[in-house]
Amino acid sequence: MSDDSPQRSESLQRLYDDKLVVQAEVRDHAQGGFHESCIAAAAALPEIAAKLREDGFYLEMLTCLDRRQTGEEMALIYTFNRFDRAHRLRVESPIAAVAEWRGPAPAPLKGAAAKKKAEADKAKAEAAAARAAAGEPDPDPAAEGASIASVFRSADWYEREVYDMYGVTFAGHPDLKRILLPEDADFHALLKDFGRIDEAETTLDDQRPS
Amino acid sequence: MLKTLSDLVPNVFLAMLLAAAAIMAFATVNALFLVWLERKVSARMQRRYGPTVVGPFGMFQTLVDVVKLLSKQLISPKDIDKPLYHLAPIVVFVPVVLGLSLFPIDKSFALVDTNVGLVLVFAFAGMGFIAIFMAGWGSNNKYALLGAMRAVAQNIAYEIPLILAALAVTMIARSMRIADIVEAQGSFPYILVQPIGALIYYISAVAETNRAPFDIPEAESELVAGFHTEYSGMRFALFFLAEYTNMVIVSMVATSLFLGGYKGPLLPGPVWFFGKVYFLIFVMLWLRWTFPRLRFDQLMTFAWKVLIPLALANLLVTATVLKVMS
Amino acid sequence: MTSDLHKPGAALAAGTSADPWATPPADPDGETYYLNMGPQHPSMHGVLRLLLELRGEEIVKCEPIIGYAHRAHEKMAENRNYMMFLPNTSRVDYLSGMIYNIAYCQAVEKMLAIEVPERAEHIRVIVCELNRVSSHLLWFGTFLLDLGGITPFLYSFDDREQILSILDRVTGSRLTYCYGRFGGVTEDVDKKFLDETTAFLARLRGRMAEYHALVTDNVIFRSRCEGVGVIDRETAIEYGVTGPTLRAAGVPYDVRRAEPYGIYDRFEFDIPTASGADNLARYYVRVAEMEQSMRIIEQAIAKIPDGPIMPEKALKRFKPDVGEHYFAVESARGQFGIYIVSDGSDVPFRIKLRTPSFSNLACMPDVLRGTMVADTIAILGSIDIVLPEVDR
């Protein structure tokens, strides 16, 4: 963090000082809708949630991103907010791929785009290496999420939804079962390699047991 | 002199047949009319038109509905208690028909005249709830069972203030013959003597007929349809018919006990009698389309903690006054 | 985690119960029984199924089972471009479809940094607030219907009908609007629309007095509502409850004030709160909110400028930059959030719809414990859930 970056909120600073989160940064709310953002290991989430709850935050949203197609990990996105003033805190937690990627490989980039992509990747890797050297390495993708349903009971349903849609399990969840899809479904609908429109005519039926 | 049907028709069996035919005809036509009236009244209260298509002012709409109900297939759910389930619609209708016969509709005419008329009316009214419980228990449906349990509890709670209020009237009239009670109301009706009694009676009567705001046994928004959830077609129609006839009976009792029955100036007795009855029924409709429903425990609290003590106090005061005056 | 999720039965092994219709185990005392309320029930709002464990009429345990109206809106979003997702938005919550539709437009405008013309902004405020009033009117009717009062239902539907007709004239639809476009709105409003809206507001003000006389002061209504279904501040934080349900617990949190979007920061309006946190408090808050919405509409009508309703350069095909955006609006039921992740293509990488009813419904097991069956319906009604919005 450079010196001229805006001041972090007390809550986030405390999490940062306790070494629970890395990449704690202040964001422009007018731009992306988030006030602050950070990255945390899945195992640290219950402690983070408990600390935030003490500070008066509530769990606004929990969802997951499936970035397996481009060879990256999956990520849980937690959003906390406050009732007394708007303060949206985004916590990202990397999760290992729940299943092997079965969809098509990403379209190969050509010319300037490929060059741009390579530069971005390089910058990203350098930044990560710099953080690791500074003593706050990026958390490794966890095999499963840690449930925060004991801190915020709203997480109960959100975690069930993420499990339902992505197949990510949560350690310590009281009753992890499907919530929106049928209980006997054998797919996770929001995984990027399920039910793509380019194969939609056959996919749904093909992926069901005969 | 009050004449009954057996006085007019010498043959007993013929008299019975005639009475049965007259009552059935009245019960059916009355229900048809009341359903139409309820639709029209509710529509007017809700800024709608109500039925307009079939017949003048949509009056034959209910007739058409009856044809529909008659032609519907009777569906019996699985695993029912067969005797109870099939008997309930009949049992619910019998006491209602019997109750109708007991009221003098004019100075000189009643179908049946007995010196325990009032007792019989309440006895018949109480029987209706046995049928409701049979229906709820026999249906193998939890909503029906819940509705039946509510109905029985409600019946027990509201029968007491109902009878206590009527008892005060019989003490003044010194008779349980309905014709005598009407006659005893000389120039003014008993509602002036017994205003609290009349109010208690009317509230309890609305509860007895399971009408809103006391319609918890069939509370649509909670129990689907309560005890008659599993009944379809004509079986359901019988419950419906019983409910509407019940409204007439409790209103007839109220008319006879508190409003001077067939008495009234100028117009003939039956006009006054039915005029008062249908006015009371109209008030019931009015209540239903105005108020939300009470909760079950609030309903019971209201009966046991308000109505029954009030009815007892009313009875005590009446008895004391009568003793002092005599 | 299982290695291959697409193998048949893998998800079952991962934790779902094998037989969804299996009877739950009976309790050892034999004093309680189970009642399946819904998904088909005359007064369930939509297709919610409540698995109730009852002792007599008292609720020992309640488990809401949802998903019967799941239409995969979020999956659809990932399979079509930004523009093609527009009609989906108002179907997520069909009672405040306009608010959702406009919210999605505003979210995408934020991503692309599109300026919206002044006139379009004012039109958006007017139609959104009209939509909010119509949603609250519908709630008013159905809530009373849940309590057994049928007449107020038809009264409020009469009023709601007026709004639907007004919006129908300008948007072309009565319920599932697709009125917003990235940068503005589809059709300009004419003078007749503004006049009709003004006339409607005057009419509704008169009707409100009638509603208060018929409902608010009714003894039975109050006894059904007072102290029933308490959702206090702590419960709200626990479950992320927002909207009128939260404000009835005395928390003045309204997205229109907390993070003003559109041009809401230019209007004067109060955030009604109540302290009871019960059914009655929620009733008060919603009725007061209708009046505040009317205030906002009046101000917007007074201030609406002439001018274009779309930016000069219309947007055809576009590819937002890589990034993520969270955009929150106040729907009729609470905070509606749209979380859009872009991977630089013309198709959204991920659209997560944070719907208020999902969180508001989640607290049901806690709130319903120990209440009566009759209260279940009343409490559900007072929270004003819309099941398609829960299930998406």
Q: What is the mean pLDDT of residues A119-147?
A: 79
- Tell me the chain A residues in contact with residue C20 when contact means C-beta distances shorter than 8 Å: 182-184
- Residue C321's region, left for phi above 0, alpha for psi from -120 to 50, else beta, is beta
Residue type, A108: P
H/E stretch holding C328: strand C323-331
Q: What's the CA gap between B83 and B139, in Å, rounded?
A: 11
Question: Tokens for C217?
Answer: 């002061």
* Confidence at C20, pLDDT banded by 50, 70, 90: very low
pLDDT at C88 over 50: yes
Say whether residue A182 is in contact with chain C using an 8 A CB cutoff: yes
- pLDDT score at B219: 66
Q: Considering only A62-71, B194-203, C202-211, which range has the smallest mean pLDDT? A: A62-71
Cβ-contact B177, B103 below 8 angstroms = no
Q: How far is CA C25 from CA B79, B133, C53, in A?
A: 21, 28, 11
Dmax (CA) for chain B in angstroms is: 63
pTM score of the predicted model: 0.84
Nearest CA-CA partner of C148 in C328, C387, C375:
C375
pLDDT digits (tens, 9 = 90+) for B132-190: 888 888 888 888 888 888 888 888 888 889 888 888 888 888 888 888 888 888 777 87
Say whether residue C73 is in contact with chain B using an 8 A CB cutoff: no
Q: What's the CA gap between B241 and B35, in Å, rounded?
A: 9
Where are chain B's structural domains? 73-325
Question: Tokens for C154?
Answer: 């038809």
- pLDDT score at A209: 53
Q: Which residues face A58 on adjacent strands?
A: A81
Q: Inter-chain contact A187–C240, Cβ cutoff 8 Å?
A: no
Q: Which of residues 103-142 of A touch C (CB under 8 A)?
A: none
Query: Which of B47, B215, B295 has the CB atom closest to C154's CB atom?
Result: B47
pLDDT digits (tens, 9 = 90+) for C36-60: 887 887 767 778 888 888 887 888 8
* Dihedrals phi, psi of C225, to nearest 5 degrees: -105, -35
- Nearest CA distance, B203 vs chain C (angstrom): 14
Q: What's the CA gap between B299 and C227, in Å, rounded?
A: 17
Top CATH class, C73-391: mainly alpha
Looking at chain C, which residue has its C-alpha nearest residue A178?
Answer: C16
Where are chain C's structural domains? 2-65, 73-391
* Confidence at A199, pLDDT banded by 50, 70, 90: low
Q: What is the DSSP string of B273-294?
A: HHHHHHHHHHHHHHHHTT--PP
Query: Which of A88, A156, A185 has the CB atom closest to C11's CB atom?
Result: A185
Q: What's the CA gap between C334 and C330, in Å, rounded?
A: 6
Question: Tokens for B2?
Answer: 């009050």
Q: What is the mean pLDDT of residues C195-216?
A: 88
- pLDDT score at C7: 38
- pLDDT score at A206: 53
Question: Tokens for B60?
Answer: 């034959």
- pLDDT score at C6: 39
Q: Which residues face C341 on adjacent strands?
A: C324, C350
**Helix C118-146 crosses helix C373-383 at what angle (to 10 degrees)?**
170
- pLDDT score at C11: 38
What's the whole-number average pLDDT of chain C? Answer: 84
Q: What DSSP designation does B89 have?
A: H
Q: What is the mean pLDDT of residues C300-308?
A: 88
* Gap between the terminal Cα atoms of chain B: 28
Chains A and B touch (3+ CB pairs under 8 A): no
- Tell me the chain B residues in contact with residue C224 when contact means C-beta distances shorter than 8 Å: 292-295, 298
- pLDDT score at A194: 78
H/E stretch holding C338: strand C334-342
Nearest CA-CA partner of C1 in A177, A144, A184:
A144
- pLDDT score at A207: 53
Q: Please calculate the CA angle C341-A28-C128 and round it to the nearest 5 degrees.
A: 65
Cβ contacts of C199 within 8 Å, gap of 6 or more: none
Query: Which of C35, C147, C377 has the CB atom closest to B142's CB atom?
Result: C35
- Tell me the chain B residues in contact with residue C374 when contact means C-beta distances shorter than 8 Å: 216, 219, 222, 293, 295-296
Q: Inter-chain contact A196–C352, Cβ cutoff 8 Å?
A: no
Q: What's the CA gap between B19 and C227, in Å, rounded?
A: 54
- pLDDT score at B53: 85
Chains C and B touch (3+ CB pairs under 8 A): yes
ipTM of the complex: 0.83
**How many CA atoms lie less than 13 Å away from C26 in the CB half-sphere?**
6
* Confidence at C68, pLDDT banded by 50, 70, 90: confident
Q: What is the DSSP string of A10-70?
A: HHHHHHHHTTSEEEEEE--HHHHS-SEEEEE-GGGHHHHHHHHHHTTEEEEEEEEE--GGG
Looking at chain A, which residue has its C-alpha nearest residue C343?
Answer: A67
Q: Inter-chain contact C11–A188, Cβ cutoff 8 Å?
A: yes
Q: Inter-chain contact C337–A79, Cβ cutoff 8 Å?
A: yes
pLDDT at C22 over 60: no
Q: How far is CA B196 from the centre of its chain?
A: 20
Say whether residue A78 is in contact with chain C using an 8 A CB cutoff: no
At C248 the three-state DSSP class reads coil
- pLDDT score at C104: 92
- pLDDT score at C15: 40
Taking only the tens of pLDDT, chain B with its 326 residues reads 566 766 777 777 887 788 788 888 888 888 888 888 888 888 888 888 888 888 888 888 888 888 888 888 888 888 888 888 888 888 888 888 788 877 777 777 777 777 888 888 888 888 888 888 888 888 888 888 888 888 888 888 888 898 888 888 888 888 888 888 888 887 778 777 888 888 999 988 888 887 777 777 776 667 777 788 888 888 888 888 888 888 888 888 888 888 887 777 777 778 888 888 889 999 988 888 888 888 888 888 888 898 899 999 998 998 898 888 87
Q: Considering only A41-50, A186-195, B146-155, C166-175, which range has the smallest mean pLDDT? A: A186-195
Top CATH class, A10-102+141-191: alpha beta
**How many CA atoms lie less than 13 Å away from A151 in the CB half-sphere?**
21
Nearest CA-CA partner of A144 in A76, A191, A190:
A76
Residue type, C345: S
* Dihedrals phi, psi of B156, to nearest 5 degrees: -60, -45
Query: Which of C42, C214, C218 has the CB atom closest to B221's CB atom?
Result: C42
Q: What's the CA gap between A53 and A50, in Å, rounded?
A: 5
Q: How far is CA C3 from CA A97, A102, C15, in A?
A: 9, 12, 14
Q: What's the CA gap between B219 and B239, in Å, rounded?
A: 15
